[in-house]
Structure 1
């Protein structure tokens, strides 16, 4: 008996080796086998499949894919004050891969955990920043690392201000979160992308969206 396959793992899941086995949307791909390599909290699988190349020949391929569920992120902005509200927290993977101290400046974000994307991001914004936003604007959905991670992130934006402040934020201490909030002028946030102080992909994408198509578009035209 194997946890996550025949018996529940620590999150109560079974049948984790069935993921992707029945996919038929792409006639050039035939799933052959799915093996669960790890299911501690998230799931690491090795999938064996047959792939038909552009010249018509088939090959047997294997890929590992990491499944942590889908997520959502949100840019909180004040268009009148020309500021954005970001977070700062320690990220071990960045720290072990040459980031100076592992503390990344980011937009509020989190996993869906079974909720709809809009509901999840309103929850995460409140937990991390203390601001309760109304209906957020959906910006786009992105596969952040499609070569190895299944996660799709739903991007949102919403205004914040004194009227949305409802708590201290900081994240959920019981889950090990220790999150600071930073209110920054939008032009400074853009400068922090250029000099490397902001090095998180989802944050860069939302800040650039805000400059190109979002709430700061008219005021930031011509900024290089």
Structure 2
């Protein structure tokens, strides 16, 4: 069943970094009742993320960088450990994640596997993230990584059991990263021992 929606107002509030809109709309429910909602929607484009993993070493490559939104919401130093990710801009999801992997981590990945697509914060953000995974080894290392221009990214190789423990201690709190790690565990690519 699809919702019946009538947009009453679609006002741009900001186009500073991405687009923030204020919507007023009428939503007709399944019993025929009409509800008026006012919501702000942040359109930042779609993105892609990738888990780089090594079965032999039972390890993963993650990044650490400053994320202002986490700092605003109580992350004392604003640093977040997460899987490599980026916005699609005008690239396909696979092109994007290959570019991001080499820029952020320094690894020129070979075969990538598309896992799924997810809305991460559908209550107010339009972004759809494409999830990928790829195996890495030192032979794929093209450079030191660390990002480009206005990025300051640390590249960290972590044994999978240690990374898993970091979820429990709150050192890893990024949703997409946890989902990718869970996927790797379920698929048997990596283990907790």
Regarding TM over 0.5, the answer is: yes
**C-alpha deviation, 1:137, in angstroms:** 0.6
Higher strand share: 2
Which digits, 9 at most, give the CA deviation of each residue in 1:17-44, with x for residues without a partner? xxxxxxxx94522223311111012000
Structure 1 counterpart of 2:138? 162
**C-alpha deviation, 1:134, in angstroms:** 1.8
Which digits, 9 at most, give the CA deviation of each residue in 1:92-116, with x for residues without a partner? 1111211121111110000001110
Structure 2 counterpart of 1:96? 72
* Gapped regions of structure 2 (runs ≥ 5): none
Structure 2 counterpart of 1:200? 174
Structure 2 counterpart of 1:79? 55
Query: 2:27·2:36 contact (CA, 8 Å) conserved in 1?
Result: yes
Q: SS of the counterpart of 1:211?
A: helix
Cα separation, partners in 2 of 1:165 and 1:66, compared to 1, 3 Å: same
> Structure 2-normalised TM-score?
0.95
Matching of residue 180 in structure 1 with residue 154 in structure 2: yes
Which digits, 9 at most, give the CA deviation of each residue in 1:143-176, with x for residues without a partner? 000000000111100011112100111001x2x2
Structure 2 counterpart of 1:22? none
Q: Bigger shift: 192-201 or 93-102?
A: 93-102
| RMSD across aligned positions (CA) | 1.5
Structure 1 counterpart of 2:42? 66
CA separation in 2, counterparts of 1:177 and 1:141? 25
Cα separation, partners in 2 of 1:191 and 1:27, compared to 1, 3 Å: closer
Structure 1 counterpart of 2:165? 191
CA separation in 1, counterparts of 2:26 and 2:72? 35
Within the candidate set 73, 84, 108, 1:108 is matched to: 84
Structure 2 counterpart of 1:145? 121
* Gapped regions of structure 1 (runs ≥ 5): 1-24
CA separation in 2, counterparts of 1:214 and 1:148? 34
**C-alpha deviation, 1:139, in angstroms:** 1.1
Structure 1 counterpart of 2:13? 37
Q: Say which structure, 1 or 2, has more relative contact order (CA 8 Å, 6+ apart).
A: 2
Query: 2:3·2:29 contact (CA, 8 Å) conserved in 1?
Result: no
Larger radius of gyration: 1
Structure 2 counterpart of 1:10? none
